Each structure stands twice: as structure tokens, then as C-alpha cells.
A = this chain, B = another copy of it.
């Protein structure tokens, strides 16, 4: 059912717009908001005063005048509440407490051995509880929890399938909501990463971007017109399983020649082990490359080539303005970048490529956790802007 229009809706729309400007363009005056938005000064004044009353905005003092009464500058009150973000990894979890602007107040990183769903969930709950307890006093308190997971999540926040964790059908959202009595948002780690980069990282200025998370597998979060794009059923971007060789080796997904068989951390390690004859991990490979080991550098360069092959497919399939490469493999940027760019130069269509940027993540391993916290904040505003207006 489509949402019908009424006065409530109008107020909600305008209040959201005013709050948006206070959040992003602050410090800003009432008059300036009226000018930018096209709303009258009276309307802006009234909405701003309600926002101040609900502690989301505050007056910070007078600003500079350009030949008239000095404006009263407004600031978003980032400490009216706090959010929890968690990046649940295969062998570790990173959790943060942020304020409403996304500023990290506290951070906890914990290893786990993924013995069972239950054990990891217990650890997760403990970690979240600890962060909640250390949150500073504030008007709204902790307003919600966001969680990025390495797997497929449905619209009800059930973790349907997480191959690298070996989990299936875990009702994460309802479990956590029951435990803490707070709103919980769960999404794929690549989606969270995309939002993290969009809000706080390299993608701040870009409306359309794709965040490619290169870890054990490859995932992607797609942002179109400033919004996360989800496929039909809420999960999209199983981009690691786009085949780059139709008669290639068999993938556990059933298909042949999937991109992540060639360009993931797992692919790199496997290749390295075959060539070196013993088990290795990513950290040691990075060290070796750093010290000039030609064989290992070659491995990275080859990975760069394969990354490029998939990136060209992304460009042709989605036509983004900006591709951000993240995940743990981003540490190999130094050796991956050149072969990747060479390949793009050669192979991508001229029209889509015109204004394309490709970069490695700025936030490194924090994209996902910050995006997760941002989910919680977004959900909070989506709900309060309605309820506040009812008062």
C-alpha cells in the first residue's frame, strides 16, 4: 500500500530536511536554512525550535553578519544519544560506541574461534553490553545497534547463510532485540562497508558508489542516489559469484569460474601455498612483499589483474561513479593498484568510464563497523522524526 499524504507527512518531510541541513551544513542559521530549502523563515523557525526542544539541535552563539542582525548559529547535538556498531568477522569482531555524528567514543576488538553459533553470540552480547554500560549519560541513551555480518540477511534480520562462518538461519535481529530491548539493524558486511565509506570515508561526496569487500570471499555494497541498493529480496550483490570464466573451476556455489576463486584473499593464499609449498597467512605475505620478494609481489600483481577483470564487469553492469576497494586485502594496495588500473584503462567501455574513480578504502578495517553504527543512527532518525512530531 502506498503511503497517503496528510499534514503529518508534510511536517515530517520538512523537519527531516531542516534536520538534514543542521547535520551536514552546520554551523548554520535559521535564515540560511530557509534560503537553501525554499521554506519560509517562519516555518524553519518553528521546526528548528521543536528540534531544539527535543535536544537534537542547539544554539551555539551568534555568527558573523554581512550588514544586518547577526544570525544565531545552530549545531547538531551529536551527544543527544549513542549508537553501537559491530563488524562480525570470521575470526574476530570489532565493536564501537559512537555518538550520533558517528564519532567513535570507544572501540573493542575481540578474537574468537567460531566454535559454535551460541558461543559467538554470547561473546557478541557481552561485548555489546559492555559498550552500552560505558556510554555517557545522554537524553536518548543508546538508541540502537547495527551489525554487519559476512553473509546473506533477509528483511527480518535473519542471517540466512554465512558460508565462512558455517552458519545458517540465525535469527540475529530478534535475538538481540530481545536481549537489549533496543532497535537492531543487521546487514551484510559489504553493505555496511558501503554505507561507512559513503558517510565517513572516501565516498562522502559521491551519490553513486560501489564498495567491494575483498576478504575470504568477495562481496559488494551498492549505493545509488545516496541509497543502499538491495536486490529484489533484500540481498543483492553476490558479486563474488559472477563468473569470469564460464568453463573455469567449480565453485562451492555450484557455478564455474566465479570471480572470488581468482581475486579473493582465499585465492591468494591458495596460490601462495601452491608456489611456496607450505601454509602462509596474509600478514606474512604482506611482509614478504614489503621486503621485496619478487615471487610474492608477482602473486599480488596477478591478483590485481583478476581484481580488474571483475571491476570491469562491475563497471559495465552497474555503471557507478566510484569504486572503493576494501576488506583486508586492501593492505596490498601498493602492488595491486597498478595492474588493476592498467587493465581498466585497456578494457572498460569509454562511456561509462568517463568519470570513474577507483580507490582503496580510507577507513581500512573500520568501513563496516562505522556503517553498521550508521544504520542504527539512521533508523533512530527515521523513527523519531515521526514520533517527535506527534507531541
Contacts and interface: CB of A to CB of B under 8 A. Distances in A.
Nearest to A239: B317
Contacts of A232: 207-208, 224, 319-321
Given A235-B319, A253-B349, A37 B4 contact: yes
A240 B312 CA distance: 12
14 contacts: A1-B37, A6-B10, A229-B229, A232-B320, A233-B355, A235-B351, A237-B319, A238-B316, A238-B317, A238-B319, A243-B309, A245-B245, A245-B246, A255-B316
Contacts of A4: 13-14, 17, 37-39
B236 A319 contact: yes
B244 A243 contact: yes
A287 to B, nearest CB: 29
Contacts of A3: 13
Interface of A: 1-7, 9-14, 17, 20, 36-39, 152, 160-161, 207-208, 224, 229, 231-233, 235-239, 241-247, 253-256, 262, 306, 309, 312-313, 316-321, 346-352, 355
Contacts of A7: 10
A340 to B, nearest CB: 13
Contacts of A239: 316-317
Contacts of A39: 4
Contacts of A319: 231-233, 235-238
A241 B349 contact: yes
A5 B13 contact: yes
